[in-house]
Structure 1
Amino acid sequence: MNESMATVFGLLGGLALFIFGMNMMSESLQKVAGDKMKKVLGVLTRNAVCGMLAGALVTAVLQSSSATTVLVIGFVSAGLMSLKQGISVIFGANIGTTMTAQLMAFKISDYIMPIVFIGFLIAFIAKKEKVKFVGQTIFAFGLLFVGIEMMGDVMKPLATSPVFINMMEKVSHIPVLGVGVGLVMTLVVQSSSATIAVLQSFASQAGPDGASVIGLVGAIPILLGDNIGTTITAILASIGQSKDAKRCAIAHSVFNITGSFIFIWIIKPFAKFVEMISPKGNELDVISRQIANAHMSFNIINTLIWLPLLPVMVKIVMFIVRDDKEVSIEDYKEKSFLDKNVISQPIAAMYLVSQEIRRTGRLVSEMIGNMKATVMNNDSKALAELEKNAKLVTEIDENTVSYISGMFSNGSLTEEQSSTTAGLLYVLNDIARVSKRCEDASPVIRAKLEGKYKFSKDAVEELGKVIDNVEIMYRTSIVSLENGDTKTARKVFDYRKELRNMEKKFNKNHLKRLRKKNCKPEFTYPFSNMLHSLERIGDSCNGMVEEVMDNVRFLELEEA
């Protein structure tokens, strides 16, 4: 293999190790954090300053501002976060992403392999799941530096190449060209952290004069281009999402583009400021830290500029992506909480699943109410609404089961999270069964409306009593899932016994009415069938509260 090919493959191999290590560290950190992420994510939905701080913290864990922005887009699209809150989180994400560059600036060449070995050893021999994840985090951290070292080794010949030096001189003297280089690099790699790591590694190489081959002044424009390039991921994630989600993605772009536009005019003063706040020493020894500090300073200063102007940012993105129409209540009713882009972030994905099951639960609760209105008051509109909701619940059920399957196949869930998510799936199955039982009753109700069946007054009252019992039982089941209250959950078992007794009693009453000629024989099947459908709802409610007994409940984002 010739020298050029060896350099290219060495650079690509080092970059691959770096990105693999970064993704592995992100996934392991999330698993180590576990339920603590609920507190961090809970802060996201508070005020703008808290959102910014939480955005920085989440990004430090996820090791990617793009990942945080995708998460925010999912939350905003689902209506769980306002546009203003979402934008403030994105501001914080830009600060949080600078942590990776700060880590890369440490000179730990002599300790890389011991770190890799220690991480591997802990992950290999640990029995406890969390300890294993700690080992994986340490191992991944070491891999980051293995990748950096590999890239640094293959870049040394480039630093003395006349052709490459000429190219770097052009980039150093034409800042816009440097911005373009950084932009293209990040678009190709889809990670600003990776391209900044490459930049740090390359800038640490000595040119013919013994100084950095590019210098801080030449590196800053490339850094600005990296910050612009990272916004493309968010733009792509917003395709097909709500208008507010698109606005969040555009806010990310506006933030970085406007910041880069300002800083490109003050590169030399900015470089002097960075040199002033960075460690002193030989340029080759300190430039990696200088680049990390420049990256952090750019994002902190840009955030301090934009945070007081948050309402202005909202107006800008509202102007770029305008509303076509007023959003109706029906639009919100049919709006899914699920976002496939968030599926690799366990706590966030579990929260969205919980919200989607809640939505399903509300629709089924409406169906029970509609069934009662139709039986008791011959309300044809209520029956039409019941049938419409039944179709919607079936669709939601299919989509949510597919989403949960994706969470498991992704492999990002811990054992505890897997158990909880499986419990949520069982709850969804029971809610879907309740919907099916209501749907099974609708032909009988429709026939009653059309005059094919004319139940006696006593029969209608009995059906009303059974539906009342079902409604109380179902709502009690949902409440127990909301608050995890096992005492409330146990009440459902009593309602279940009462429901079974009512079915037996009212079937006997119907037979008595037959003997007295108060009911026609052909009404026996529809009446008994409807009672049976309602009685089977009790089994599904029992199933829901049994999950509550196993500590399954709808996931809440806790406030710190």
Structure 2
Amino acid sequence: MTLLGSLSVTSTVLGLLQVLGALGVFLYGMKVMSEAVQRVAGKKMRQALAGITGNRFSGLLTGFMTTSLVQSSSATTVLVVSFVNAGLLTLMQSIGVIMGANLGTTITAWIVALVGKFSVSTIALPLIGIGLPFVFIGKDKGKSWGELFLGFGLVFFGLGLLKDSVPDLKSMMKEDPATAETIRQIVTWMGGRGFVSTVLYLLGGIVLTLMVQSSSAAMAITITCAMNGWLGDLHNPIEVFRNSAAIVLGENIGTTVTAWLAALGANVHAKRAARAHFTFNVIGVVWMLVAFVPFSALVWNLAEHLPESMRSASDGFQTSEIAFATAIFHTSFNFVNICLLIGFVPHIARLVEWWVRDHAPINDSPRLQYISQGLVDLGELNIAEAENATRQMNVLTSQMFDGFVHLLNQPQTDLSAEVAALKKMEDDCDEMLRDITSYLIQCSSHEIGPSNAGEITSMLRVVSEYEEATDRIYRLVKIVQRKYEKGRHFTEEQHRELTALCSQVRAILDLCANALSGVTGEMLENANRIEDRIDRLRKQHNKGAVRRMQAGAEVPTEMLYTETNNHLEAIGNHALNIIESSQRSEQALAARADD
């Protein structure tokens, strides 16, 4: 008995490891495929998400397409929370994307259901065979396409392994009767209780999704277990289907936890987006519990009208029908839920705004408060926050420069408060440089494509130039303050010359703002012309200062004047460097696109 018991335990452990291994192949394939899709189309997906208008239907479509591509609603919703946190999406816009993500993730159920209707190796191995050469010999996008095929093949291969490694309860009764009997008793206890059974299986779906941290993996496990008799007697297929459908409802709630956790350290707007995802899914589950019996009966009726080739099974059981019915339920539930609630997006927004109230005083700090990317690897999609923070840095630099010009035009007024405010802005720029640099280094630690690698390199140079420009502006502020405290005055001619030079510097700073959205050849030529003009004006002004000192003018005042010219010219150089760095990044991206 001891030997038999030991063999039974060993068999159980090996069986469990086989299931975990199959699940690991599936999840790894999903990871490879998702990251490859992001490298192939990540920039376009970021632009699509960031460019969503107030139209909730465009957000719905974008969320559906993004999730269909990356095959992870968790990745899409974490990305949405990230964009809301960065100010790139409003709460209203994010709810539309989340609705679309819920519909996009239903494709996984159809893939799992289809796996049972053909030999997995006939499609998985050819896909891996197509992708593998590109992984080794391909470059840039060619390699990414290879990884896409490889990942997709591994997804099918993992599903096939999962299907084969999960034993059906009937055969398990012969091989490991003790374990099988325990499972049968649990299933019997949970089933046959009407509404209570539905709730129990729903709670099981929540726990399952929390354990595997992937609604796609949870869906694969659910359908596989249903097809192998773990969710009820296969002689009563509609009961098995209803149990699997109840688990699917739980998975819809469990998948919201990832975005909830990601928003814990984010701002109030990101928290509201995560709560909106939770609210939308919970409302859907609540009304579905009320209508569960007739709705599931309707879905089962639809499944019974599927083509015979999709419903038939060699074992005499309606296992394929259960799988496709679960896929139909998942898709139809999310679709109907969207149709019912899309008109109530403003009400959901108001509900979560009431739920997550902004009690703290308005935080005007421009620091980059990015969310943790540890929960979901967003790869190519996670630099949008840094892009937005770089634009904020541009705004801050321009505001600082305008503040300096205001001080320069008030030579007889004590503006110590304004000087202190400008000092705080300079400190904010220093902090933003550290934040953005740290975040970009974190982004580059993930597997990213060459286009994003070039973009990250360019952005690191750009933010460094902005920080140096703000340092120069603050030195100008200190010169104006020192001039006031020492009682020194520029002549009308000097003030007129500085005003002309400041207008040129302001013009090139305006070009910097436009360069962050794209650099044209005309823009670069214009920037070079302005920088040359700034350089000529600085030389002319400094020569004039030397002549005046030789003629007996006050040397300290002329030295302050010369120093002001030099700092203004240096700001112009930093601005030109920003534009050239942005242009080099675009040229590299275009060259890779041509390849």
Give the TM-score, by structure 2 length. 0.85
| Alpha-carbon distance between aligned partners in 2 of 1:164 and 1:123, rounded to the nearest angstrom | 45
Greater shift, 206-215 or 58-67, is seen at 206-215
Alignment correspondent of 1:281: 312
Alignment correspondent of 2:18: 10
CA deviation digits over 1:205-259, x for unaligned, max 9? 1479664897102211111111111111111111122222222211211222222
Alignment correspondent of 1:399: 435
Q: What is the CA distance between 1:42 and its match in structure 2?
A: 5.0
Q: What is the CA distance between 1:193 and its match in structure 2?
A: 1.1
Please state if 1:166 is matched with 2:166.
no
Alignment correspondent of 1:135: 146
| Alpha-carbon distance between aligned partners in 1 of 2:94 and 2:202, rounded to the nearest angstrom | 27
Q: Which amino acid aligns with 1:15?
A: L
- Whether the 8 Å contact between 1:21 and 1:144 is mirrored in structure 2 is yes
Runs of at least 5 residues in structure 1 that lack an aligned partner in the other structure: 556-560
C-alpha spacing 1:209/1:241, structure 2 compared with 1 (3 Å): closer
- Whether the 8 Å contact between 2:312 and 2:320 is mirrored in structure 1 is yes
SS in 2 for 1:341: coil
C-alpha spacing 1:481/1:164, structure 2 compared with 1 (3 Å): closer
Greater shift, 200-209 or 443-452, is seen at 200-209
C-alpha spacing 1:259/1:473, structure 2 compared with 1 (3 Å): closer
Pairing 1:106-145 to 2, within 5 Å after superposition: 106-107=114-115, 108=118, 109-115=120-126, 117-145=128-156
Alignment correspondent of 1:408: 444
Q: What is the CA distance between 1:451 and its match in structure 2?
A: 2.4
Alignment correspondent of 1:383: 419
Alignment correspondent of 1:30: 38
C-alpha spacing 1:480/1:193, structure 2 compared with 1 (3 Å): closer
Pairing 1:422-437 to 2, within 5 Å after superposition: 422-437=457-472
- Whether the 8 Å contact between 1:78 and 1:335 is mirrored in structure 2 is no
Please state if 1:447 is matched with 2:478.
no
Alignment correspondent of 1:558: none
| Alpha-carbon distance between aligned partners in 2 of 1:432 and 1:552, rounded to the nearest angstrom | 22
SS in 2 for 1:14: helix
C-alpha spacing 1:430/1:119, structure 2 compared with 1 (3 Å): same
| Alpha-carbon distance between aligned partners in 1 of 2:500 and 2:365, rounded to the nearest angstrom | 29
Q: What is the CA distance between 1:47 and its match in structure 2?
A: 0.4
Please state if 1:484 is matched with 2:507.
no
Q: Which amino acid aligns with 1:199?
A: T
- Whether the 8 Å contact between 1:16 and 1:147 is mirrored in structure 2 is yes
Pairing 1:64-75 to 2, within 5 Å after superposition: 64-75=72-83
SS in 2 for 1:270: helix
Pairing 1:251-330 to 2, within 5 Å after superposition: 251-278=276-303, 279=306, 280-282=311-313, 283-324=318-359, 327=362
Alignment correspondent of 1:178: 201
C-alpha spacing 1:219/1:479, structure 2 compared with 1 (3 Å): closer
Q: Which amino acid aligns with 1:281?
A: S
- Whether the 8 Å contact between 1:489 and 1:548 is mirrored in structure 2 is no
Q: Which amino acid aligns with 2:268?
A: K
Q: Which amino acid aligns with 1:68?
A: T
Size of the aligned set, in residue pairs, is 549
What root-mean-square deviation, in Å, do the aligned CA atoms of Structure 1 and Structure 2 show? 2.7
- Whether the 8 Å contact between 1:251 and 1:313 is mirrored in structure 2 is yes
Pairing 1:76-225 to 2, within 5 Å after superposition: 76-107=84-115, 108=118, 109-115=120-126, 117-156=128-167, 158=169, 160=173, 161-173=180-192, 174-206=197-229, 211=235, 215-225=240-250
Q: Which amino acid aligns with 1:297?
A: S
Greater shift, 290-299 or 115-124, is seen at 115-124
- Whether the 8 Å contact between 2:394 and 2:513 is mirrored in structure 1 is yes
| Alpha-carbon distance between aligned partners in 2 of 1:370 and 1:315, rounded to the nearest angstrom | 38
Please state if 1:494 is matched with 2:529.
yes
Alignment correspondent of 2:53: 45
Q: Which amino acid aligns with 1:77?
A: N
Alignment correspondent of 2:177: none
SS in 2 for 1:239: coil
C-alpha spacing 1:71/1:509, structure 2 compared with 1 (3 Å): same
Q: Which amino acid aligns with 2:202?
A: V
| Alpha-carbon distance between aligned partners in 2 of 1:262 and 1:479, rounded to the nearest angstrom | 49
Q: What is the CA distance between 1:426 and its match in structure 2?
A: 2.0
Please state if 1:420 is matched with 2:428.
no
- Whether the 8 Å contact between 1:434 and 1:540 is mirrored in structure 2 is yes
Pairing 1:497-512 to 2, within 5 Å after superposition: 497-512=532-547
Q: What is the CA distance between 1:527 and its match in structure 2?
A: 3.1
- Whether the 8 Å contact between 1:480 and 1:486 is mirrored in structure 2 is no
Choose from 569, 580, 584 the match for 1:546. Answer: 580
| Alpha-carbon distance between aligned partners in 2 of 1:26 and 1:341, rounded to the nearest angstrom | 15
C-alpha spacing 1:116/1:550, structure 2 compared with 1 (3 Å): same
Give the TM-score, by structure 1 length. 0.90
Alignment correspondent of 2:398: 365
C-alpha spacing 1:157/1:217, structure 2 compared with 1 (3 Å): closer
CA deviation digits over 1:438-475, x for unaligned, max 9? 12333322211222644444434333332222222222
Q: What is the CA distance between 1:394 and its match in structure 2?
A: 1.0
- Whether the 8 Å contact between 1:486 and 1:548 is mirrored in structure 2 is no
- Whether the 8 Å contact between 2:519 and 2:579 is mirrored in structure 1 is no
- Whether the 8 Å contact between 1:84 and 1:314 is mirrored in structure 2 is yes
- Whether the 8 Å contact between 1:338 and 1:356 is mirrored in structure 2 is no
SS in 1 for 2:166: helix
CA deviation digits over 1:467-519, x for unaligned, max 9? 22222222233334434222122122222222222222222222222233332
- Whether the 8 Å contact between 1:490 and 1:545 is mirrored in structure 2 is no
Q: Which amino acid aligns with 1:341?
A: Q
Q: What is the CA distance between 1:183 and its match in structure 2?
A: 0.9
- Whether the 8 Å contact between 1:192 and 1:230 is mirrored in structure 2 is yes
Q: What is the CA distance between 1:346 and its match in structure 2?
A: 5.5
Q: Which amino acid aligns with 2:405?
A: K
Q: What is the CA distance between 1:91 and its match in structure 2?
A: 1.3
| Alpha-carbon distance between aligned partners in 1 of 2:369 and 2:527, rounded to the nearest angstrom | 28
Q: Which amino acid aligns with 2:402?
A: G
Q: Which amino acid aligns with 1:5?
A: V
Greater shift, 10-19 or 223-232, is seen at 10-19
